[in-house]
Each structure stands twice: as C-alpha cells, then as structure tokens.
Amino acid sequence: MATEPLAGVRVLDLTNVLAGPYCCYQLALMGAEVIKVERPGSGDLARVLGADPVRNKAGMGISFLAQNADKKSVTLDMKAARGKTLLKRLVRSSDVLVENFRPGVMDRLGVGYDVLQAENPNLIYCAISGFGQNGPRRDDPAYDQIVQGISGVMSITGAPDTAPYRVGYPLADTVGGLTAAFAISAALNASPRGTFLDVAMTESVVSTMGWVVSNYLVGGVAPAAHGNENTTSAPSGAFATSDGPINIAANRDEQWQALARHLGREDLLTHPDYVTREDRKANRHALRAELEQSLVARPAGDWVRELNALGVPTGQVLTVPQALADPQLADRGLVGTLPVDGEDMRLTGSPVVMDGERRMPRTAPPNLGADNVAIWSELGLSDDEIDTLRNEGVI
C-alpha cells in the first residue's frame, strides 16, 4: 500500500465504550498512531463488556476487541496533579485529542480545550457527546438507545403496530463515531490546524435521516413507521418466498414491468390499482399479496438470481452469520484474522478500499497500560519516575 493517509498523525484517544473508540479505530486503520489514555486499574468500560465472561474478567471484553486494534494503551489519572501535567506533555507531541465525556468534565478537571490548546496551538480537539456542548440537554447522560429515541429513529423503525423499535445495533454510537472521524480528517487538512470540534451523536443521526427529515421540513409529511415497505415506491420492500423473505426494489417502471412479467402476472400491469407509481404506492399492501402468490411457490435463491438478471434489484434477507459468510464479503476481505494472545481472532478492517487494498489491523488490541513504559519514556521520564507514578496510582 502507498503511504497511509494519516501516517505521522498522533491521536490521543481519551474515549470509552463505542462512539469515541470507533472513531479512533477508523483513524488508526488509516495509519494514525492512536494512543489510548485510560484510567489506571479499570480502563475503558468496554474492557468488561461482551458475550464472553472470561474475556471480560481479563479486561479484554469482546466489545473492547471490536474497535481497539492498532492502538497503544497508557494509563493516567487525570484527577491527579501529576496526571494533568503528563497529559499536557503528551498533548504537545500530538495532533488530535478525542474525548467523549459529558460536556464540561474536561474543564472541571483543568484540562479543557483552552488549557490544552495553550500547550499545543495546532491541536485538533474533538468532543463527542450525546447532544452537543451547549443547549438544554447538554448535561443529560446519553447512551445509544437514548439517542435513538430522542433523534426520532425509533419512531420510524418497525411496523405501524410495533413501533417504536430500537435499531438492532448501536446506530447512534457508530454514526457519531464516523462523523467525528470525518470531521477530524477534514480538520487535519486545514491551515492552521488547531480547532475545537463539537460532535453531537443526535445531530449526526438526524443528519443521516436525509429524506425522512426533508419530507417533513419541505413536504410537510410527518414520518411514520412503515415496516419493511419503501414509502417512495412500490413494489419495494420485503416479500415472502417458499423458504424465507427477499427484498425487491422495483422502483422504476421498467423494473416493475419486468417483475410482473417474470412472475406471470402481466394482468397486474393493466389493473387500474397498479397502472402508475402513485397507484402502486396507494395500494402497496394489496399488490404485495398479489405478487407473493407467485413468489411463495419457489425458494429465495431462485428469485434473487433470476430477477437480478432481469435488472430487478433483489436480495435475500440474511442473518448476521449468513452475511459474514457471504461470498461477496469474503471475496472483498472485510474480515481478517489477527493473532491475539496466541489465538487467531477475526476482526473487521476498514470499510474503505484504497487503490485496491483494504487496510486491516496489524496489532492486537492493547492490554491496559501496555505502552506505559514506551510512551512515558519518550516524554523523558526515567524508569524510577515511571515506577513512582505507578506506585502512586497516577499511571
């Protein structure tokens, strides 16, 4: 691979659990040196989260492993006077600092943006929070599900009789982390570099709801839960087959016509309820029932193969294990293996392929404080000083 895009960039990762760690993982995959600054003795809460109790007990929970490869770890008590001094020294040699504490916490600790920017005027300081650094909710605690609810996502997820529903993975955390990584990458290209980035998970999520939001803001149409139906077109949604559901998106007239003919339902093309796009949208549920009379006669795989060949976008509805085993993902190499404590562990790499190559993690997620000696020595601390700081609980 050519020179990595973020080679030579040092990032201080002061974050916990998911949004911040995911952001910094993306930066690490693009070549940044990411130093995870963790609380002595406990570290990132994600170290004890995940489906494997043994790993949790060892401080290497699966939730931590998922987004902390290619990072270094140092421990630091930022409440201690000497801990604040060490953070300032570390900031002087860094390009980026990312934190996801509640707004105001870093200022109360005496190491907020103004203090650290004085140490390094070129510092890019990124604060990730649930609701932003100001506003009436700024001090409210925010986890992914809270943000999903407040952003409106849950109100439009599910069917009319089941909503509100939570999206089945931490959408708000992940979108917030991606937004932060994008903002940091952009800020690294600015001149001068020093800046304060205020990334709110709620605003990040609302921004991704483009059509839903604009339909309300511009069209005055209040968003609602429509289950698996695509409200912009029909037939477009999930349909039953003999062995499981498939998604069909016949959004264009020619796709709709090809679908009806392939299913042997040319009669529907002239039916007054389905002649135009608006007719089909207004009668979508009746139309789905008509199409499923043919679709349930054969398995999903047959329909996917045949309809895609006709230019009608079709795909199976897979479980997560099925998706991970799918030949498409396997062929493009999204999942790779990395030795972790003598075990080959499967982890996802960067979602971006650059010049035909995908950046995969090269070093295992770090044990808590694994890089204390290397990093603190680099700042000029002697072995005796490091031992003293460790004994005092500062690192």
Q: Which residues are catalytic?
A: 173
Contacts 24+ apart (CB under 8 A), 118-123: 119/88, 119/91, 119/92, 120/91, 120/92, 120/94, 120/194, 121/192, 121/194, 122/95, 122/192, 122/193, 122/194, 123/91, 123/94, 123/95, 123/96, 123/97, 123/193, 123/194
Q: Residue 357: which H helix or E strand, with range?
A: strand 357-358
What is the 8-class DSSP label of residue 140? Answer: S
Give which of 125, 129, 105 is closest to 116, Cα–Cα. Answer: 125
Among the listed residues 199, 181, 174, 36, the one whose alpha carbon sits nearest the alpha carbon of residue 103:
199
CB 329 within 8 A of CB 275: no
Closest CA to 303 of 347, 255, 239, 363: 239
User: Exposed, middle or buried by CB within 10 Å (0-12, 13-18, 19+), for 292?
Assistant: middle
AA letter at 372: N
- Note the Cα 260 to chain centre separation in Å: 38
Please give the helix or strand (H or E) that residue 58 lies within, else none: none
Contacts with 195 (C-beta within 8 Å, 6 or more apart), sequence order = 124, 125, 187
Q: Where are the beta strands (DSSP E) in 29-131?
A: 33-38, 71-75, 96-99, 124-129
**227: phi > 0 → left, psi -120 to 50 → alpha, else beta; which?**
left
For 220, the token pair is: 């005055």
Q: Which residues pair with 315 in a beta bridge?
A: 247
Residue 211, token pair as written in the block = 């059509």
